[in-house]
A and B are shown apart, each in its own frame.
Chain A
Amino acid sequence: MRITEATLYQRTLDSANTAMANLARAQGEVSTGLRVQAPGDDPQAAGMLVRHRFDQARTTAIQSGAQRATEELNAADSALGSLGTTLARAQVLATQFGNDTYTASDRAAAAAEVDGLFQQGLADLNIRFGDRFIFGGNKDNQTPFGDNGVYRGDAGIRQVEVAPGVYEQSSVRADIMAAGAGGGVDVLQTLKDLAAALRADDSGAVRGTLSGLSDACNQISTARSQVGTSVNIFTSAVDTCASQIVDTKQVIGELGDADVMDASSRLSLAQYALNATLTAAKQTLSFSLVDLMK
């Protein structure tokens, strides 16, 4: 086959263009750190990257929600702990002043203390986290318990996602825990009853509140147990999400990121190939019968 100058020049140009295209691609990988810079680079990986990035965003959102739920439940647990302490003190006072040996003035002083315990219990049950009152069910924009201790919330239960489509309870039913719904005792009313009995200097009535105070303590303890369980679930969800995010990032990196060593090596190879192409071109194009016959 005849090799003309036009053929030689075209081949040289094609070889140089190919070498430069390879060099540009290698440079792009090294500078961006990305192996998949466009969907055409690896169609399957490009599609999977979209899915994994969605999953990563979803997992991050779940982690954030679970973390907030954990913090809110921890606040609820603190409030319930304080309420438990309040009720324990009320039990001590009821036991002490249910004894006939105390005077009216002694019981009046104790009544004042129980009034204080009532206010403390009210404050604990009306605790706020962020812009929400956490013991009001879904009616969380107002204090769950009025100044008279009457429950104004509802029976709603909040739920937070711990995994895609899986929800966990993130609130306590205060109507059952503290307001006497479902056959329980009204915690704040029991404290008011104790204060009234003390103020009336009625030792028998004082002793009569012991049963209610004991039930109240059990209700609070049960609620704390439920809160603890939920906190464990949410804490586990936060940790699981953190691991998943790390795993997903790793998968995304394996699919889409360039191997730095490999990319650098191919960049060096592409530079060498371009240099060799241009050197060969120079030698080929300068070799002609015309030059030899000068």
Chain B
Amino acid sequence: MDSSITAAVQQVNASLKQVGDLNRRISVIEASGSQPTDLLDKRHNLMDEVANLIGATQVPDAYGNVSLVLPGGTTLLSASSAAELVLQADTPNKGHLDVVFTPADGSAKVVLRQTDLGGQIGGLLAARDGALGKASTDLDSLAYDFGTTVNAQNRAGYTLYGTHGGDVFNVGPAAFGAAAVIASDPALTGDPSLIAASGTDTGIPGDATNAQALVATQTAPLSNLLDVQKGLAKIVSDFGTASADAKDAASFDKSVLTNLENARASTSGVSMDDEMVALLQTQHAFEALSKVINTAAALLQTLIDLKT
């Protein structure tokens, strides 16, 4: 997702520069009294692209320039002055990228949040830091809680060597990132005698009381009051619900977008049939006018012939 955000931000920056340049050129041409239709079309397409990428809306001014404003109110482009978006890693958010607004006038940079943005970038941030972020955090907590619970139980028991057990899982120092790093301790994997199955250290190898306690950890409530099975099922179900809701929202928004595009095209779009009919009308009108001119010329000639 971060790579998609990076590509989208680069595209936004390039488009903003182009729109700013077009604003300047259109102003110059319009000041000379001409209508720069090609440039207007090009600007229109670029602004649509920026809206699609980041949700910026167009704000025209009295001078023919168009500014681009983000949903949170930040001005991306004013006349020909384009701001720049940069990316920076957010360590508390597992190093994921933040979108930072760098004003054209050099004033302080602002980190844009998901609520400040729209379009693809806003959607990617919402997915990454919303449902995905929650699922990731919950998985980390689940992995850390379960791993430390099992480790504590194993440390409470005794191995075949008569020593206290060690860690069964390596989960890292904190919940942050635990789901990505959790793994069986290699020493235990290489020597199953290190499983602290016994509840006593008095040389009774068949004692399995701690093994029974280890088995019981799979149904022991963790910090979220759910056992590991119910916890994982809840994470999967919650993420699935968020995913299904997002699909439904996308489908609904797509229908709204389609209707709006159809309405816009109906008003400003070109219909070949309309243009063909208009062309035929004009052609016939021209032909009729030609007849009139010819008739008038013939009348004049007749009058001249009469006079002479």
Contacts and interface: CB of A to CB of B under 8 A. Distances in A.
B205 A139 contact: yes
Contact of A4 (B203, B212, B238, B266): B266
B61 interface: no
Contacts of A167: 212
Contacts of A159: 208, 212
A161 interface: yes
B239 interface: yes
Contacts of A44: 237, 240
A4 B273 CA distance: 8
Contacts of B216: 165
A140 B258 contact: no
Interface in A8-52: 10-11, 14, 38-44, 46-51
Contacts of B244: 40-41, 43
Interface stretch (B1-9, B65-73, B225-233): B225-233
**Most interface-central of B203, B243, B246, B265 (chain A CB within 10 A):** B265
A54 B233 CA distance: 10
B15 interface: no
Interface of B is mostly: helix
A154 B204 contact: yes
Interface in B177-208: 203-208
B266 A39 contact: no
Interface string B251-282: 00000001001110111011111101100000
A68 interface: no
B215 interface: yes
**Most interface-central of A39, A42, A49 (chain B CB within 10 A):** A39
Contacts of A40: 239-240, 242-244, 246-247
A6 B265 contact: yes
7 contacts: A7-B269, A43-B241, A50-B236, A51-B233, A156-B204, A288-B273, A290-B272
Interface of B: 203-208, 212, 215-216, 218-219, 229-230, 232-234, 236-244, 246-247, 258, 261-263, 265-267, 269-274, 276-277
